A = this chain, B = another copy of it.
Amino acid sequence: MSRVRVHNFSVSLDGFAAGEGQSLEAPFGHAGGRLTEWFFGTRTFHEMHGTPGGSTGADDAFASNWGPGIGAEIMGRNKFGPQRGPWADEDWKGWWGDDPVFRTPVFVLTHHPRPSITMRGGTTFHFINAGPTEALEAAREAAGGLDVRIGGGPSTVRQFLAADLIDHLHIVVVPIILGRGERVWDGLEDLEQRFDVETASTPSGVAHVTFTRR
């Protein structure tokens, strides 16, 4: 059976995985780049964005697991873009340019379906109004036997965890106090009891915590 995986999911010490006030100018809201700084430095991030260089140490070892073996992604609408409610602007094709980093089908969860968008490089965005189980069925079918990645944001990850649909969860504890934004852990008391858990700190100051389903 293909696995359902979450990778490179940064969380502050106070449990926020996104800042407050996402907008076109501030994709991460008031958090800015603070949650993802450890990731921006890695070779994996540089390769995603076509820039040379990047670290190849422990942070990159974790970051690079993001792609291999993945056949489809599911993301929440708030990860896809800053618009809320009915689509005022169907020209919006995500934050990732003409040639998005995904290179697989991507299922965007939204109450407002719209036609699929085929991008360069193998990414197709599908827009579906579906709960976690139904969305996962569609993504599994599209993934052709490969794994499905749950790409975020926080409420999407939380919903899939609550439905016990995640096999591998890689979070990155970033030692900052964000104070406000979107909490990821609400309603997930005792989550760890369904998983084997390991923790590894790296010189960038973060702690990578992996949850592997028992």
Q: Which residues of B contact A24 (CB under 8 A)?
A: none
Which chain B residue shows the least CB distance to A200?
A: B201
Main SS of chain A's interface residues? loop
Q: Is A109 an interface residue (CB 8 A)?
A: no
Q: Which residues of B contact A198 (CB under 8 A)?
A: 205
Q: Is A76 an interface residue (CB 8 A)?
A: no
The CA of A197 and the CA of B178, in the complex, are separated in Å by 15
Question: Quick one: which of A189, A200, A205 has the most chain B CB within 10 A?
Answer: A189
Say whether A179 contacts B175, CB under 8 Å: no
A 196-214 binary contact with B (CB < 8 Å = 1; else 0)? 0111110001110100000
Selected interface stretch from A7-15, A64-72, A86-94, A135-143: A7-15
Per the CB 8 Å criterion, the residue count for chain A at the interface is 30
State the oligomeric state as a number of copies: 2
- Chain B proximity of A203: nearest CB distance (Å): 9
Q: Is A63 an interface residue (CB 8 A)?
A: no
The CA of A185 and the CA of B187, in the complex, are separated in Å by 18
The CA of A177 and the CA of B191, in the complex, are separated in Å by 6
Q: Which residues of B contact A189 (CB under 8 A)?
A: 177-180
Q: Is A163 an interface residue (CB 8 A)?
A: no
- Chain B proximity of A182: nearest CB distance (Å): 13
A 116-128 binary contact with B (CB < 8 Å = 1; else 0)? 0000000000000
Return 28 A-B CB contacts under 8 Å, by A number. Answer: A11-B13, A13-B15, A13-B171, A13-B173, A13-B209, A14-B15, A14-B183, A14-B185, A14-B186, A173-B173, A173-B199, A175-B192, A176-B192, A177-B188, A177-B189, A177-B192, A179-B187, A179-B188, A179-B189, A179-B190, A197-B205, A199-B201, A199-B205, A199-B206, A200-B201, A201-B201, A201-B207, A207-B209
